[in-house]
Amino acid sequence: MIRNKIGARVMLLAVLLVAIALVPTVSAQNETNYSVTKEVAFEHANAQIINFIADDTEFEGWKGASIDPKPLELYDPNGQKLYYQFSVYKNNSLIGRVDVGANKTLGQSIQVIELTPVLYNTTEAMKKSTETARNEYPDGEVKSTEIVVYSYPSIGAMTVIKDRASGNEHRIFVDLYTLEVIPDRPATETEPGTWSVFDRRLKNGVEENLKGWQASDQFTKSIEQEMASKGICISVPVTLDNYLNYDVTNVNYDYYSYFFGLYSLGNTVISRYGKLPVLETEEQKENWNSTLEELNNRIKDTVASKYMYPHGEVMSCGTNSRGYFVILFKYGSVDEPLMNEIYALINDSAKEMGVQDIPVEFGYGTYWEKIYLEGINRWYWLGENTENLSESDIDTLEGDMEHRPTMPLNKTIAAYGKIPLLKDPNEIYLWQGKLYTITDRIQEKITPYVEKGQIITYGARIRLEIVINDTLSSEEKNTIIREIYPVIDEEARKQNITNVPVVFTTSEEDSMKESNNSNNSDSESDTEDKPSKNNSTPGFGLLGSLTCLYGGWKLRKN
């Protein structure tokens, strides 16, 4: 991709300036055939800038910035929409602009990146353009006033006014930066004049330009998929960063699996030890997973009796998809000496198996499970202080923690956002309340998808959960995701939540019915003195047309 500096601008179509005087005019293409929506343009801007930040030190200063999704629409003097100009802000200060082509015939999507933007006043320029037109043609009828690229890359306001007497239309240009009136004269070899980008295309023609746009679109889709695996949705404003080096989002529960302990509803990584092996084939991955499971069997008794709750701070042991052995703690004062001690235990056992520098990830988890203890005659949160428990209740907790947690059945399509570190049930309740408010306020916009059978159910637990009809095609599912997540994100930002955690899944109809039927008894069990049913995972309950997961939890029975 060409990125030549011209003055303060990075021009991705620098060749256009060279070819302008040499290219014969061609008929402008029908915009409706090749037009690009501002939503698609925004996705291209996000994707390209994320990529630039990852491999170009020139964009280092853009880390922590974000692109405003509401662009200034720039037109061509011939009346066609030309560019979407997106502003880039950091700490509420304008630090750059990105111009994305509004028409596929312009070629690659990113047309201009401005690294040192100069402020301009569109309102004043449009006002002066209109006033000048009316002064010069007092009997004329103003047809339109738009912001245009009148002499690439110069930008200005253009007012089109029709002289009632002659019927002729006239164009009045006012430069956006200087507020000077620009004469409407043809370009010459010595004078830039005013001219149309659409009427002066590159030598390679429209077909080659369309191929260039298609290449940009394919690249954007590849970045979109990679970002989606890390919980980043490029359809909404993101904090620009080198996301290409980020881990998978903690909203994606499929990323982790657990050998024993509690099931975590969102992990926060503390530290990593060791070295990951090279796992390129499915056979290598399967063999490595078997190695980690054998390692778990070797250390389980020691971990359970010495380090795991109720005797210690460890709440769960498992693996993640990258190949790390995972140790999750209860939130608290977990220090480096404790992690070093546990790592030494795991690493020594791994060495006996012929594995050096075993990779281990330490983190905090979010847990939401209760067990009924006879000794205290009440429901007990797993993770609560154990000082006043009897030996019998301690044994009950120890036995329960040695079980393998039940994994969710739904298949994840996409998972966006980030689940915050929730330290205790009180923080979980507060967080769920915020998510419940969001689900309540998006109900009107989500209901049409439910009525069409595209969305089976939706609601909030620790993350917002949208269950999409599995009979839809992959393209239909992806379209719904692109439409729904921005709706949720917009409402979440009103609640001061950015990077809102949302998972899109599919589910078999029978499992949905089972989940719906289980919800009421789960919620009611919390208010009863003793358990009246088997262990269960909370499901979906209905509140009118709104599916509500708020207030659900996992119950265990001794």
Same domain, 438 and 474: yes
Which one of 360, 380, 401 terminates a domain?
401
Mean pLDDT of the chain: 85
Which one of 401, 428, 444 terminates a domain?
401
Q: What residues form DSSP beta bridges with 93?
A: 90
For 201, phi then psi, to 5°, come to -80, 170
Tens of pLDDT, residues 505-525:
997 553 444 344 433 333 333
Full DSSP string of 91-158? TTEEEEEEEEESBGGG-SSEEEEESSPPP--HHHHHHHHHHHHHHH-TT-EEEEEEEEEEETTEEEEE
Q: Is the pLDDT higher at 122 or at 5?
A: 122
Tens of pLDDT, residues 444-480:
999 999 999 999 999 998 999 999 999 999 999 999 9
Task: Give the residue numbers spanning the domain of 335.
Answer: 247-401
What is the predicted pLDDT for the residue at 546? 33
Which percentage of the chain shows pLDDT scores above 70?
Answer: 84
Q: What residues form DSSP beta bridges with 316?
A: 261, 328
- Rg of the chain taking only CA atoms, in angstroms: 30
What is the identity of the amino acid at 8?
A: A
For residue 387, being part of any structural domain is answered with: yes
Residue with tokens 């939503």, as numbered in its chain: 39
Question: What is the C-alpha to C-alpha distance for residues 400 and 40, in angstroms, rounded to an integer?
Answer: 50
What is the predicted pLDDT for the residue at 202? 56
What is the predicted pLDDT for the residue at 525? 39
What is the predicted pLDDT for the residue at 515? 42
Same domain, 219 and 350: no
Residue with tokens 């290219």, as numbered in its chain: 23
Average pLDDT over residues 19-25: 34
Question: What is the C-alpha to C-alpha distance for residues 436 and 118, in angstroms, rounded to an integer?
Answer: 43
Show the beta-strand stretches assigned E in 461-553: 464-468, 502-506, 541-543, 546-548
Same domain, 341 and 488: no
pLDDT value at 535 more than 50: no
Average pLDDT over residues 235-250: 89
Q: At 16, is the pLDDT very low, low, confident or very high (cuts 50, 70, 90)? A: very low
For residue 11, being part of any structural domain is answered with: yes
pLDDT value at 240 more than 80: yes
Same domain, 275 and 331: yes
Average pLDDT over residues 120-135: 96
For residue 539, being part of any structural domain is answered with: yes
For residue 105, being part of any structural domain is answered with: yes
User: What is the biggest distance separating any 2 CA atoms in the chain, rounded to whole angstroms?
Assistant: 101
Same domain, 43 and 112: yes
Q: What residues form DSSP beta bridges with 546?
A: 543
What's this model's pTM, rounded to 2 decimal places?
0.80
The 10 Å CB-count burial string (b at 16+, else e) for 502-513 is: bbbbbbeeeebe
Same domain, 258 and 153: no
Average pLDDT over residues 26-43: 74
Question: What is the C-alpha to C-alpha distance for residues 5 and 410, in angstroms, rounded to an integer?
Answer: 49
Average pLDDT over residues 421-446: 94
Average pLDDT over residues 251-269: 94
For residue 430, being part of any structural domain is answered with: yes
For residue 193, being part of any structural domain is answered with: no
Same domain, 206 and 335: no
Peptide bond into 310 cis (omega under 30): yes
What is the predicted pLDDT for the residue at 201? 60
What is the predicted pLDDT for the residue at 81? 95
Q: At 23, is the pLDDT very low, low, confident or very high (cuts 50, 70, 90)? A: very low
Nearest to 425 by CA among 383, 371, 364: 383
In the chain, count H helices and then E strands: 12, 25
For 456, phi then psi, to 5°, come to -80, -45
pLDDT value at 431 more than 90: yes
Same domain, 64 and 17: yes
Tens of pLDDT, residues 356-375:
999 999 999 999 899 999 98
Looking at the 3D structure of the chain, how many domains does it have?
4
- Of 98-112, 243-257, 483-497, the range with the lowest mean pLDDT is 243-257
What is the predicted pLDDT for the residue at 233? 95
Residue 392 structure tokens: 């019998």
Which percentage of the chain shows pLDDT scores above 90?
Answer: 72
Residue with tokens 């690009």, as numbered in its chain: 36
Contact predicate 19/203, CB 8 Å:
yes
What is the predicted pLDDT for the residue at 155? 96
What is the predicted pLDDT for the residue at 192? 85
Residue 204 structure tokens: 């390679």
What is the predicted pLDDT for the residue at 346? 98
Contact predicate 317/258, CB 8 Å:
yes
For residue 188, being part of any structural domain is answered with: no
Tens of pLDDT, residues 68-119:
999 999 999 999 999 999 999 999 999 999 999 999 999 999 999 999 999 9
DSSP 3-state assignment of 88?
strand
Same domain, 303 and 158: no
Question: What is the C-alpha to C-alpha distance for residues 430 and 416, in angstroms, rounded to an integer?
Answer: 21
Same domain, 254 and 286: yes
pLDDT value at 1 more than 60: no
For residue 437, being part of any structural domain is answered with: yes
Same domain, 447 and 470: yes
Question: What is the C-alpha to C-alpha distance for residues 351 and 296, in angstroms, rounded to an integer?
Answer: 13
CB hemisphere CA count around 501 (13 angstroms)? 22
CA distances from 518 to 445, 523, 524, 537, 547 (A): 27, 9, 10, 8, 14
Same domain, 421 and 506: yes
Q: Is the pLDDT higher at 19 or at 252?
A: 252
